[in-house]
Amino acid sequence: MAQQTVVVLNGPNLNLLGEREPEVYGHETLADVEARCRTVAAAAGLEVDFRQSNHEGVLVDAVQEVRTSAAGIVINAGALTHTSVALRDAVAAVAVPVIEVHISNVHAREAFRHHSYLSAVADGVIVGCGTQGYELAIARVAQLQSALG
Ligand code: DQA
């Protein structure tokens, strides 16, 4: 994979974006989010590898696969954020910038959403900015990439 690729990983149920709890997550689909990510990334000279899985192991495999080759990783792990030590350990082994994203403000929701296993091992966290959070995260990866490069 080219060093100029931002890998955007989406966890369980994010395939239902736009249909599931639109009052919380909005009306945009994941395909809409992907298109906006590609536009923002292209403006920064980056490509996007956009993935979604409902399966913890698939996400762990994806993180391991790109841990040294990506320009950065943007991850919305969905509910696995609050449960997965395995995903946390995979992210801890990543050599490139990792930005955690949540569409909703998890801190204003149920107590079980207040703790993230990923936040302590991510380089940045963007919460409650709606789907714009993905664009902000890509902009951050681009910034870090240019600062490092
Ligand atoms: C989410 C927040 C999580 O608590 C939830 O399980 C999700 C989506 C968000 O983007 O706001 O699936 O990660």
Index of the ligand 1 atom closest to the CA of residue 113: 4
Examine the residue annotation and report whether 102 is marked as an active-site residue of this protein: yes
pLDDT for the residue numbered 149: 61
Task: Check whether 3 has a pLDDT greater than 60.
Answer: no
Region 50-76 average pLDDT: 98
| Encoded tokens for 62 | 């994806």
Residue 81 CB–ligand 1 contact under 6 Å? yes
Index of the ligand 1 atom closest to the CA of residue 101: 10
Tell me the pTM.
Answer: 0.96
Task: Check whether 135 has a pLDDT greater than 50.
Answer: yes
Region 1-24 average pLDDT: 90
Region 125-131 average pLDDT: 98
Task: Check whether 120 has a pLDDT greater than 50.
Answer: yes
* CATH 3.40.50.9100 applies to domain 1-64: yes
* Confidence bin at 1 (pLDDT 50/70/90): very low
Residue 15 CB–ligand 1 contact under 6 Å? no
Go through 33-42 and write b for each residue having 16 or more CB atoms within 10 A of its CB, e for each that does not: bbebbbebbe
Please report, to the nearest 10 degrees, the dihedral formed by the alpha carbons of residues 136, 49, 101, 99 taken in order.
-80
pLDDT for the residue numbered 2: 46
For ligand 1, pick from 25, 81, 82 the residue to mutate: most ligand atoms within 8 Å of CB.
Answer: 81
pLDDT for the residue numbered 147: 78
* Confidence bin at 66 (pLDDT 50/70/90): very high
* Confidence bin at 145 (pLDDT 50/70/90): confident
Residue 106 CB–ligand 1 contact under 6 Å? yes
Q: How far apart are CA 58 and CA 62, in angstroms?
A: 6
Task: Check whether 11 has a pLDDT greater than 60.
Answer: yes
Index of the ligand 1 atom closest to the CA of residue 128: 11
